[in-house]
Amino acid sequence: MATPTAGARPDEVRRHNRTALLRRLHVDGPSTRASLAAELGLNRSTIKALVDGLAESGVVAERLPAQRTGAGRPSLLVLPQPQAAVVMAIDVRVEQVAMAMVGLGGDILGRHSWNLHRRTREPGEVITHIADSAKLLADELDVTAVGVGVSVPGVVRRADGMVHEAPNLHWTDVALGARLTAVLQAPVHVGNDAELGALAEHLRGAARGSSDVVYISADVGIGGGVISSGTPLRGAGGYVGELGHMVVRPGGRHCYCGCQGCWETEIGEAALCRALALPEDAPRGAVVAELRSLAADPSSVSHRLGEFTEWLALGLVTVVNMLGPELVVLGDLFTALPQVVVDRVRATVQQRSLVSRAVGGTRIVSSPLGRDAKLIGAAELAFEPVLGLV
């Protein structure tokens, strides 16, 4: 925990400590007062005052632990109360929009989703449907969202939620943050989908406890999110993470970005469909079903996915050499890859990457959060400013 600056007023210190305590409970769950004091570096009287104040406001509650350890009076558990602060999370995908109300502590209180088609993919149509669905979900759960987080598969300016370009949605310069703020009447924060996937994995998924992580997402396209020294990596203007547009095969297939041979053209959903001898526009369910059938027959994996595996590994060698992560998390469609593919990619990266060998082998795992990763990341994006205000 950062030390308050010298000369800070008592109310600023209390607010800082209160936010740190809430963040600890929100991310890591219930804890005893004694554990909170030790983890946050605060004395017990300070923790008592903070917890008592939060309990009086209904933000936390205390109860006896389910199991007692040792003799004497058991230490009470402090639990965040989900209804005390609720945010709305929205994950805009190429073919679907998912929405959830998420309470303090990360509990999903309710959710809704709908499919997108060519006409309903227009920004105005999407915004209108979001506004209607948000009201229905809020009324059904009898909650009010104090903040909104939105995940979008494109280049997003985090400062104001401007979607500069989302090619697979055919969006250009869409003021999504401002337009949603106007219709939802709540602060709206918009982020790139892969960046928010990385945030979710770092806080609640495979990357908990890891400081340097790369999250690679496969939907229709390929995106990447980076956690460096425990902090999301953002480029100029907040634009970063277009790892799918590294050129890995000069003279290869044309990419919609204007280049040829992008990594996305070799390992994106269309490339995976080609490898599986499916139509490039095959339904997602058919692709997943085919991958699961391959997992049951490992002997056929090399024949069907050998070249795909090589391109996935080749790109990851470059990513690992450039960014030096201790962990790479494969998300979205990649979570359906047979384990033998993940194992071969891991072995290739460890063999070919100088950085991976230097750090003793970069771990490569599939996301345990699956398709919810970006929705969870959107919720955490909305919670960032909220925790200081509860």
Q: Helix axis angle, 176-184 relative to 123-141, nearest 10°?
A: 40
pLDDT recorded at residue 390 = 81
- Give burial (CB, 10 Å; 0-12/13-18/19+) of 45: exposed
pLDDT of residue 217: 92
Q: What is the pLDDT of residue 15?
A: 92
- Binned at pLDDT 50, 70 and 90, residue 8 comes out as low
pLDDT at 113 over 80: yes
Q: Please state which CATH class domain 84-195+374-386 belongs to.
A: alpha beta
- Give the helix/strand (H/E) hosting 318: helix 301-323
pLDDT tens digits, residue range 258-314? 899 999 999 999 999 999 999 998 999 999 999 999 888 888 898 899 999 999 999
CATH of domain 10-80: 1.10.10.10
Average pLDDT of 56-74? Answer: 78
Across 204-239, b (16+ Cβ under 10 Å) vs e yields bbbbeebebbbbbbbbbbbbbbbbeeeebbbeeebe
Q: Where are the domains of the chain?
A: 10-80, 84-195+374-386, 208-368
> pTM score > 0.85 for this model?
yes
Q: 208-368 adopts what CATH topology? A: Nucleotidyltransferase; domain 5 (3.30.420)
Topology alike, domains 10-80 and 84-195+374-386: no
Q: 94 or 74, which is more confident?
A: 94
pLDDT in tens, 316-327: 999 999 999 999
Following DSSP, what letter does each residue of 230-249 receive, concatenated?
A: TEE---GGG----GGG-B-S
Nearest to 24 by CA among 53, 57, 74, 60: 60
Predicted local distance difference test score (pLDDT) of residue 1: 46
Q: What is the pLDDT of residues 128-164, one digit of tens each?
A: 999 999 999 999 999 999 999 999 999 999 889 999 9
Closest CA to 105 of 14, 25, 12: 25
Asked if residues 167 and 256 have their Cβ atoms less than 8 Å apart, the reply is yes
DSSP notation for 170-203: TEEEEEHHHHHHHHH-S-EEEEEHHHHHHHHHHH
If you average pLDDT over every residue of the chain, what do you get? Answer: 92
Query: What would the pLDDT profile of 75-109 be if each residue is shown by its tens digit?
Result: 789 999 999 999 999 999 999 999 999 999 999 99
Give pLDDT tens digits for 162-218: 999 998 899 999 999 999 999 999 999 999 999 999 999 999 999 999 999 999 999
